[in-house]
Chains A and B, each alone.
Chain A
Amino acid sequence: MSNFINVEKEKMQKIIKGLIDKENYLGLNQDRSRLVGLGVALGINEPKNLASRLSLSRGEYIKNNAELEAIVTCATVMHMDKTGDLNEQLSDDSIFKCADECLNTGLDIIEDNIINKPMNNYKLKLLEELDELYEDYINNI
């Protein structure tokens, strides 16, 4: 069983040190667990498989964090075959693989957001986007 989440090391470093630290985008440099959670959520609809590995310990980011564990498990449930073998599909390896893939996509989106972030009121624009998402995902169900 792998001990590491499978994301592009350079990308993570670039985003964290180069962009998030520099711009303090949404305060994400203060809590990497939040970055991982957001990354998974942003990439949940389009997980991306990558070969390289990054030294993010599972224990540090997921196993010791009940909330993150719930999030990555739910992300995995979204993508699994509900008729297949649950034991296999919700094994640690499967969950971490799914988290890796979602996070890879999510980090791309975060990078894009930071680079293309509107200069003024970008937070209000993000809130507008959330309002729409809330309508689509929650209110209209």
Chain B
Amino acid sequence: MRIKSISIENYRQYKKLEFSFKNIKELKNDLNIIIAQNGVGKSNFLNAITWCLYEEESHLQDKNKALPLVNLQTIDETEEKGIISVKVLIKVEVNGEEKTIIREAKYAKNSSIKAKVLRTESHLIVKQKIFNPVLGYSVIDDVYDEYAEGIVNRMFPKGISQYFFFDNEQMNNYFKANSGGAIERAINEISKVSLVQNVDGRLKSAESDFKVDLGQNSELIDSLQKETTDKENKLNSEKAELNAIKEDIAKAINEIDELNEQLKGVENLKSLEESRKTLNDSLEDIKKDIDEIEEELNQFIVRQSTLIRMYPSFVETLNLIDQKDKDRQLPPDISLEVLKRSKDSKVCELCGNHIDEEHLKNVIEKLNRFNVATPVFELLLGIKRKVLELKSEAENYPNAKKAIMNKREAKYAKLEETQSKLNDIIKEMKSIPNQEEVTRKIDKREALTKTLNNLHEAKGLVDGNIKKYEQELNEANLKFENAINAQEKAKDKANKYNSVRRLRAIISEVEKETIEEMRHEISVRTFENFSNLIWKKNTYDRVEIDKDYNVDLIHVKGNSAIGSTSAAERALLALSFTNAIHEISGFESPIVIDSPVGRVSDENRRKFAESLAEISKRKQIIMLFTPDEYSKDISEVFDSIAVKSFASMNQSEDVTTIKEA
């Protein structure tokens, strides 16, 4: 299927536009590129398509939300109370046959307010060829409104329209946490389980009716029936709670993602601030250490200045003491009392040996030296030990100096290093603009992260409750079934009830299996497509879609990689997923993308463009770029394989035209 052309009349900037999407046979690719400045109407070109097909403008920018969808110049030119027709016509080719989809809305100009129009009517028409058996040939048949919607929905199912018509923002958000709902809807749409779900809904209603009916036959059955209803209500209430929590979780995750995106490059402000504080504290500690070392050095200098200068006097004094000792003018270096007791007991108190006559003479000689010693000699003997210590300390000056200077140098080096780190951090912090705003966002992210943790805890509790109520409900249902099967009355009703229950169990199984199969198939096909397109080979192992329909890309090492992929990789994964949906659903719709490389970083743009070129060999792709986005690396890929057009606006900026380059 391909879009052949589009005609837009009086829709937003497009007063009158006829545009054909050429498919040049010489070109292998079916690729149309429209280049337009911001504000010229890129997004509204995409909106014109979705408005025509679904009467929805899914890509409306804020500034346009307040404006009517009627072209402003046309409103000006229209007489008061005049009727304006807004029309978008899309010609598509399906299996060689042409179908024309027309959305037309009529607006009446309100005289009292400028640019105010009121919609009076809106229709969808599909013109298609059908074979007229009476005439024996094909004729053009016009199908209106809900019948036309049915035809459009078969070509471009609304449930998965976001996988046909999208912008870079959507591509980036494809696999965000709250996209599970959209993916679930897409999978349900493709697998057509909604049909099964409808049947189950009706059977459930019948089951409830039977239950109430059976309860009328016995008080026991009535109370058991009420018990099952009570359990079911509790279970449903918990499931509703779980859904609400899941939504909150998704919201929190997306807000955190958004904040992460906004804080890219500046998110380290807070850690910088923390590092600054830590380094400042370290600096203070180092300065205190240095003060202590400097004081130690002061004491060292004063002490060694004293000791080294005194050194000659120490030597002289020790020589004098030695000389006086040799001359036996000094009292012995032993206590007078010890000598006296040793003499009296004839046992040496120091070594415990017996003192013989010869040694006794020695003891007496020592005792006599006490008698002749003057206070001066006592003083010299008293200071001897201290002088020896001081002398030795002076001699050790080089070693002591080396130790203290090494310690000092190391501390100063640490001071310099820390100061340098601090300076770098302060410099980096100064380069971050809007620091208050950044800090606010960082705080918000922290708060959201805490909320997220609380939500996960709450989810765990509710999950537990659901399991508990499911079990209780099963038990209550079993008791109810046993009771109705045991009773004689209303056997027929009991059999019908049991049949409905069995049928519902089978349907539930079918639904589960179908969805499981579809989920598996989409995962496999998405990864196949992704592997063919991605430039990083052997990096990723598979795509997984979990029970909550969250899509994850699994790294070859087994870890989740979706959070660390680049915008280009995410966009490519989105395209691969889109393609998988197209292939599996059989809806071989064209893809229309607004600003496809809007979020893709420079280094990946070319590779991403090459991947898009590859896809355009198999299906029609229409892309809208700004001139900046259509950069050199992009144009090098597309210029030779695409039909390129430029959109421009008139001077009053209310009419856009598109011309082929």
Contacts and interface: CB of A to CB of B under 8 A. Distances in A.
Nearest to B404: A127
B305 interface: yes
B556 to A, nearest CB: 61
A34 B308 contact: no
B312 A77 contact: no
B379 interface: yes
A126 B377 CA distance: 37
Q: How large is the interface on A (under 10, 10 to 19, 20 to 34, 35 or more residues)?
A: 20 to 34
B237 interface: no
A132 to B, nearest CB: 10
Contact of B316 (A27, A74, A123): A74
B37 to A, nearest CB: 65
Interface in B393-438: 394-395, 397-398, 401, 405
Contact of B302 (A28, A78, A134): A28
Contacts of A41: 305-307, 309-310
A74 B314 contact: yes
A26 interface: yes
A123 B401 CA distance: 12
B308 A130 contact: yes
B313 interface: yes
Nearest to A36: B306
B376 A90 contact: yes
B313 A90 contact: no
B495 interface: no
Interface stretch (B273-281, B292-300, B473-481, B634-642): B292-300
Contacts of A141: 315
Contacts of B491: none
A40 to B, nearest CB: 8
Contacts of B398: 134
Contact of B397 (A27, A73, A130): A130
Contacts of A91: 376
Contacts of B405: 127
Interface string B313-351: 111110010001000000000000000000000000000
A107 interface: no
B301 A126 contact: yes
A90 B302 contact: no
Interface string B237-262: 00000000000000000000000000
Interface string A57-79: 00000000011011101110110
A108 to B, nearest CB: 15
A28 B295 CA distance: 10
Interface string B373-393: 011110110010011001000
Nearest to A37: B306
A129 to B, nearest CB: 8
A42 interface: yes
A50 interface: no
A133 B383 contact: no
Contacts of B316: 74, 77-78
B310 A26 contact: no
Interface string B352-390: 000000000000000000000011110110010011001
B309 to A, nearest CB: 4
Contacts of A78: 312-313, 316-317
A87 interface: yes
Contact of B298 (A26, A40, A87, A134): A26
A66 B390 CA distance: 11
Contact of B379 (A71, A90, A137): A90
A26 B320 contact: no
Contacts of B310: 40-41, 44, 71, 74-75
A138 interface: yes
B311 interface: yes
B303 interface: yes
A7 interface: no
Contacts of B315: 141
A86 B395 CA distance: 28
Contact of A69 (B374, B375, B383): B383
B305 A130 contact: yes
A119 B141 CA distance: 104
Nearest to B397: A134
Contacts of A44: 309-310, 313
A22 interface: no
B304 interface: yes
Contacts of B303: 34
A42 B301 contact: no
Contacts of B383: 66, 69-70, 73-74
Contacts of A90: 376, 379-380
Q: Among the interface residues A40, A42, A133, which one has the most CB atoms of the partner chain B within 10 A?
A: A133
Interface string B611-637: 000000000000000000000000000
A81 to B, nearest CB: 12
Contacts of B386: 66-67, 69-70
A33 B387 CA distance: 17
A134 B308 contact: yes
B403 to A, nearest CB: 13
A26 B296 CA distance: 9
Given A71-B306, A130-B397, A134-B397, A27 B374 contact: no
Given A27-B302, A123-B301, A138 B313 contact: no
Contact of B299 (A27, A69, A71, A75): A27
Given A86-B376, A87-B376, A137 B312 contact: yes
Nearest to A88: B376
Given A78-B316, A87-B374, A123 B308 contact: no
Given A27-B295, A126-B305, A138-B308, A75 B395 contact: no
A102 B301 CA distance: 19
Contact of B317 (A34, A74, A133): A74
Contacts of A130: 301, 304-305, 308, 397, 401
Contacts of B306: 34, 37-38, 40-41, 71
Q: Among the interface residues B306, B317, B383, B394, which one has the most CB atoms of the partner chain A within 10 A?
A: B306
A123 B383 CA distance: 31
Interface string B145-168: 000000000000000000000000
Contacts of A40: 306, 310
A34 B301 CA distance: 11
Interface string A111-141: 0000000000001001100100110011001
Contacts of B312: 78, 137
Nearest to B408: A123
Given A38-B306, A78-B313, A130-B305, 19 more contacts: A27-B295, A27-B299, A37-B302, A40-B310, A41-B307, A41-B309, A67-B386, A73-B380, A73-B383, A77-B320, A90-B380, A123-B297, A123-B301, A130-B401, A133-B308, A134-B308, A137-B308, A137-B311, A138-B308
Which 7 A/B pairs are nearest by Cβ-Cβ distance?
A27-B298, A74-B313, A41-B309, A41-B306, A70-B386, A78-B313, A70-B383
11 contacts: A26-B302, A27-B302, A37-B306, A42-B309, A73-B380, A74-B387, A78-B313, A82-B320, A90-B379, A91-B376, A130-B397
